[in-house]
Structure 1
């Protein structure tokens, strides 16, 4: 009897603990914000609009007219194309000169002999200072001193040492050079630049140009006056420039 009462008390104690546990769990859920909406809210959905696709427009293609062959006409005369001929017909074919070869190939053409150059004429020695310096340098032998009237040299003498001389290309002196008149004691060379017209007259004279070795004005004026009296042969040239050199001793 005592054992049965003990089992009943144990069951009651377990039921009480279970009820207390559930009650405590309920209070915890309510206190933590666990709520239940009743009635439940309406369901919300996202509205999606599906646009209808437009039908593609047809592509217009320009179409031409197919070429058509003309209707055949058997009775029409057929026209043939004829080749045109050249105005002049050749009488024979073009032929080149036949090349000639030797036994071992092409014929060798010998080189013509070269002229031997006189090297002594190219480089004259100092002993030839009195010779013709205006002669061609390739000449085998120099010519004599230039004589009076030479087109490219002195019109009086080939050597100008101690004597007056004139240089006028292509012209010769008529007679002799007029000598200057002076009374001073001085020596040296006075070179006068002259202009000569086509009649051979000296139209202007300028003393003291390049080659002059004296600065005495009296000698310059004497050389100028003498140069204006010089006379040359006639020429087709309107005016020519030359020089007259006077040596005062």
Structure 2
């Protein structure tokens, strides 16, 4: 193998460089004296947390007595729990008292509202009672005045449907000047104070359906005795529309005696139906 001049210079430079590094290491790190195993600086760590004095005490070779610090008193966990429990009871008692107070106030408020409602209801009932009594009184006066007039002479000494004669003609349907003002005519009866039905009696409604019960017709009669208004009234227990219509038509055909000098009069006609 043939080396040229450059290769030789490179090899010599590399060897010289490594020899220089070995020399530096031998003068610094490799020549350091390792201390003996027992050498070193003694450190006094002490044996208590706090102590007084300036100089280190002599070593007697004995272990100093350790000062025992009395343990702190135990925390009264039970008492704390008890106090917390008592506090909680007090808070709950206050809350219960507040709730009871609110409930009592609500109860008093409701009682006051109920008393006011009862008072208003009593006032309404009393007003209704007074109004009914006044209406009854007015109706009694009106009926008494209406009963003072008849269909006979101007003096009112005669009553009847004939063109001649005097006295009370009477009625086969039980409509008298005295006693009950409820007469029987045809298949029913009527209630019209101071009035009597015409000679033909109450018109009879058609009875083509076999059903039992009654139909009450509220009527309004003018001074001439004509029925000017009719409607189904309270007490009717037949729901058949055909029978109701027939009863209304019959009631509208009814003719009562005329009463001069009076106003329209209200009453009723009751038709009773029995199975044949």
TM range (shorter): 0.3 to 0.5
Larger radius of gyration: 1
- Please, what TM-score do these two structures have when normalized by structure 1? 0.37
Greater helix percent: which structure?
A: 2
- Please, what TM-score do these two structures have when normalized by structure 2? 0.34
